[in-house]
């Protein structure tokens, strides 16, 4: 008989079901830190928040091909002294498994300077779309620290596509072109 | 006076996934080091993206059949490593499966790429002196199975060069850590990817996990994954996750595909890269997980040459043992840290 036994035929270990931990949430940056990370030389961020009109909404959806779900645009002008350095736009995307708060830095010429993720939260299955699930994060927007679960920070095999975020960035760019002056 | 140490962690969308970089070092220097590390990842992304028609990779795919194409040293490094892995694995790792991935809808079609031949493979990607690449047949290459790992290695080098004391780069499951303290690596449960399992502790080294739970799509009335067997060019199904540990993340990343394609053949190749594979499979009967470890199987004549727990790369399987001892089972009140048991277990 052959003594050879492939290593994947006999389990080295059986793990019980209960060692699995729940999904996780991380806060990477608060609002101020994200502004600093994207515009390191800026010394002033002036709020330029706008509410989109139905026409602007349609224009953004046509230009980006992405649905606009929220009318409020959280935007700031980054300035170094009197010099305008660009736009800082705070946005949120909701995927099947994830809820992500992120910021886009847009140069005065309308190009993307950078994208930083502020909060990343993952739910069980479709939990992110569930308003009750989302409610637990209310009041924990950028600026106030979200409890970071230190136990789950090195997650291998997390190849979650960032397609939703890519679409979000496209929508933010169109929003800047349409609504931020 | 002792310098104050601070730890920072940031994430950006790059390489088609979320790249997370954490580092600790002297206060005030950490954000700049992380920014530099992100720049290195962004450079790899710009050079080796299959999706981006302006990337260097797209230029190779478009003009590689016409004559030698000179490439950046990063791209060269990855192509050379891919060649070596293809040779070592007799083609189990193959960067020319792009046409299959395009056909299944995982990669976008490019109208300006020459039509791909059905008879080309990794042997038809010639690496010529002067960091030049030429296709000997009409192949198309996709580096997504190896470039992410390379980007992680590069970012780690940047953090180290910037004087960081410890750090971690995680590109959607391809991760590498360095420093003095062990960091626990978690993997997703293959059958329920929103749940995670603590798998092992890593102090200095890389871990890459390959699984298809988030990447499945429907093609011709069945679910397919982007994990393609290079010899049969068929897609495998999603039922287990494969984690490879290695000193370099580029090797760990690529070797997950080799283990996926042929676990029996993989043992020899893993040893060559000082790597080790851990397969996690969900057991629907018990609700638990079967764990196969290439370094832990008795009776396998090759296991002796593989790193043992705690010896090389400071990889240890302590978590496994902790997980099995009764004292580590969650107590009531620790519920916010450990998920509630699955319903059928509470019922049972």
Contact B203, B233 (CB under 8 A): no
Predicted confidence at residue A23, as pLDDT, reads 57
Size of interface A-B (CB pairs under 8 A): 220
Give the minimum alpha-carbon distance from A29 to chain B in angstroms, rounded to a whole number. 7
Whether residue B307 sits in one domain with residue B202: yes
**Packing angle, helices A31-38 and B30-48, rounded to 10:** 60
CA–CA distance, B232 with B229 (Å, rounded to integer): 6
Predicted confidence at residue A137, as pLDDT, reads 39
Question: Who has greater pLDDT, B35 or B97?
Answer: B35
Which helix (H) or strand (E) covers residue A80, if one does? strand A72-80
**pLDDT level of residue B16 (50, 70, 90 thresholds):** confident
**pLDDT level of residue A146 (50, 70, 90 thresholds):** very low
Contact B263, A7 (CB under 8 A): yes
Q: Which of A123-137, A165-179, B193-207 has the lowest mean pLDDT?
A: A123-137
Question: Who has greater pLDDT, A1 or A107?
Answer: A107
Contact B246, B273 (CB under 8 A): yes
Q: Is A5 on the interface with B (CB under 8 A)?
A: yes
pTM passes above 0.90: no
Q: Is there a domain that residue B332 lies in?
A: no
Predicted confidence at residue B237, as pLDDT, reads 47
A 111-170 residues with CB below 8 A of B? Answer: 114-117, 120, 122-125, 127, 149, 151-162, 165-166, 169
Q: Which domain holds residue B220?
A: 182-326
**pLDDT level of residue B294 (50, 70, 90 thresholds):** confident
Q: Is B211 on the interface with A (CB under 8 A)?
A: yes
Predicted confidence at residue A17, as pLDDT, reads 64
pLDDT in tens, A37-77: 999 999 999 999 999 999 999 999 999 999 998 999 999 99
**pLDDT level of residue A94 (50, 70, 90 thresholds):** confident
Q: CA–CA distance from B69 to each of B12, B110, B234 (Å)?
A: 31, 19, 30
Side-chain-facing half-sphere of A52: CA atoms under 13 Å: 24
- The single-letter DSSP state of residue A43 is -
Q: For all residues of chain B together, what is the average pLDDT?
A: 78
Name the phi and psi angles at A65, rounded to 5: 75, 15
Give the minimum alpha-carbon distance from B307 to chain A in angstroms, rounded to a whole number. 14
Q: Is there a domain that residue B95 lies in?
A: yes
- Above 50 in pLDDT, residue B142? yes
Whether residue B193 sits in one domain with residue B76: no
Q: Is there a domain that residue B210 lies in?
A: yes
Q: Is there a domain that residue B230 lies in?
A: yes
pLDDT in tens, B104-129: 666 677 778 888 777 889 999 999 99
Contact B208, B174 (CB under 8 A): yes
Contact B188, B212 (CB under 8 A): no
Comparing CA positions, the residue from B306, B282, B313, B39 lying closest to residue B161 is: B39
Comparing CA positions, the residue from B97, B84, B50 lying closest to residue B229 is: B97
Q: What is the pLDDT averaged over residues B193-220?
A: 73
CB B210 to CB A17 under 8 A?
no
Q: CA–CA distance from B213 to each of B148, B227, B336 (Å)?
A: 18, 11, 25
CA–CA distance, A103 with A111 (Å, rounded to integer): 14
CA angle B288, A120, B187 (to 5 degrees): 25
- Above 50 in pLDDT, residue B14? yes
- Above 50 in pLDDT, residue B334? no
Whether residue B312 sits in one domain with residue B195: yes
Q: Which of A6, A10, A11, A20 to mutate to test the interface with B (most CBs of B within 10 A)?
A: A20
Q: Which of A8-17, A51-60, A151-160 has the lowest mean pLDDT?
A: A151-160
Contact A142, A34 (CB under 8 A): yes
Q: CA–CA distance from A8 to each of A101, A163, B297 (Å)?
A: 41, 34, 8
Domain of B226, CATH number, reads: 3.10.520.10
Q: Which of B11, B37, B336 to mutate to test the interface with A (most CBs of A within 10 A)?
A: B11
Whether residue B242 sits in one domain with residue B312: yes
- Above 70 in pLDDT, residue B348? no
Total count of domains within chain B: 2
Whether residue B191 sits in one domain with residue B81: no
Predicted confidence at residue B249, as pLDDT, reads 96
The beta-strand segments (E) located in A95-154 are 98-106, 112-122
Whether residue B297 sits in one domain with residue B193: yes
Whether residue B211 sits in one domain with residue B292: yes
Q: Which of A156, A163, A164, A170 to mutate to test the interface with B (most CBs of B within 10 A)?
A: A156
Whether residue B207 sits in one domain with residue B104: no
pLDDT in tens, B36-76: 999 999 999 999 998 888 999 999 999 999 999 999 999 99
List the single residue in A with minimal CA-CA distance to B190.
A157
């Amino acid at each position: 008989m052959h003594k050879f036994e492939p290593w994947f035929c006999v389990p080295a270990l059986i793990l019980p079901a209960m060692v699995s931990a729940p999904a996780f949430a991380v806060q990477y940056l608060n609002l101020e830190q994200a502004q600093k990370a994207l515009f390191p030389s800026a010394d002033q961020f002036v709020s330029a928040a706008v509410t989109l009109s139905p026409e602007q909404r349609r224009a953004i959806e046509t230009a980006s091909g992405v649905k606009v779900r929220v009318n409020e645009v959280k935007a700031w002008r980054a300035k170094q002294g009197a010099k305008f350095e660009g736009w800082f736009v705070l946005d949120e995307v909701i995927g099947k498994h994830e809820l992500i708060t992120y910021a886009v830095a847009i140069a005065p010429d309308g190009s993307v300077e950078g994208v930083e993720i502020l909060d990343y939260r993952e739910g069980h299955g479709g939990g992110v779309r569930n308003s009750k699930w989302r409610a637990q994060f209310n009041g924990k927007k950028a600026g106030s620290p979200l409890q970071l679960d230190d136990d789950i920070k090195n997650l291998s095999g997390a190849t979650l596509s960032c397609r939703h975020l890519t679409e979000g960035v496209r929508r933010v760019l169109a929003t800047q072109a349409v609504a931020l002056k | 006076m002792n310098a104050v140490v601070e730890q920072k962690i940031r994430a950006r969308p790059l390489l088609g996934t979320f790249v997370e970089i954490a580092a600790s070092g002297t206060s005030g220097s950490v954000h700049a080091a992380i920014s530099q590390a992100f720049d290195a990842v962004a450079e790899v992304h710009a050079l080796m993206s299959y999706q981006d028609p302006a990337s260097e990779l797209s230029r190779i795919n478009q003009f590689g059949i016409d004559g030698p194409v000179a490439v950046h040293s990063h791209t060269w490094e990855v192509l050379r490593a891919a060649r070596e892995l293809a040779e070592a694995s007799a083609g189990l790792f193959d960067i020319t499966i792009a046409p299959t991935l395009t056909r299944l809808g995982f990669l976008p079609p490019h109208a300006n790429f020459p039509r791909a031949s059905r008879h080309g493979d990794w042997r038809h990607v010639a690496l010529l002196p002067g960091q030049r690449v030429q296709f000997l047949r009409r192949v198309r290459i996709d580096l997504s199975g190896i470039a992410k790992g390379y980007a992680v290695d590069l970012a780690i080098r940047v953090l180290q060069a910037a004087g960081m004391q410890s750090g971690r780069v995680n590109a959607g499951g391809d991760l590498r850590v360095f420093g003095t303290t062990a960091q626990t690596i978690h993997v997703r449960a293959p059958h329920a990817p929103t749940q995670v399992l603590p798998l092992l502790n890593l102090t200095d080294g890389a871990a890459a996990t390959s699984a298809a739970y988030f990447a499945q799509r429907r093609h011709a009335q069945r679910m397919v994954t982007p994990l393609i067997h290079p010899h049969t060019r068929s897609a495998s199904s999603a039922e287990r996750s494969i984690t490879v540990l290695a000193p370099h993340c580029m090797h760990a990343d690529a070797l997950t595909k080799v283990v996926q394609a042929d676990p029996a053949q993989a043992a020899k190749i893993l040893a060559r890269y000082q790597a080790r594979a851990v397969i996690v499979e969900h057991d629907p009967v018990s609700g638990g997980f079967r764990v196969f470890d290439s370094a832990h199987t008795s009776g396998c004549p090759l296991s002796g040459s593989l790193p043992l727990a705690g010896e090389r790369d400071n990889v240890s399987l302590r978590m496994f043992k902790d997980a099995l001892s009764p004292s580590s089972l969650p107590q009531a009140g620790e519920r916010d840290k450990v998920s509630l048991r699955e319903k059928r277990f509470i019922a049972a």
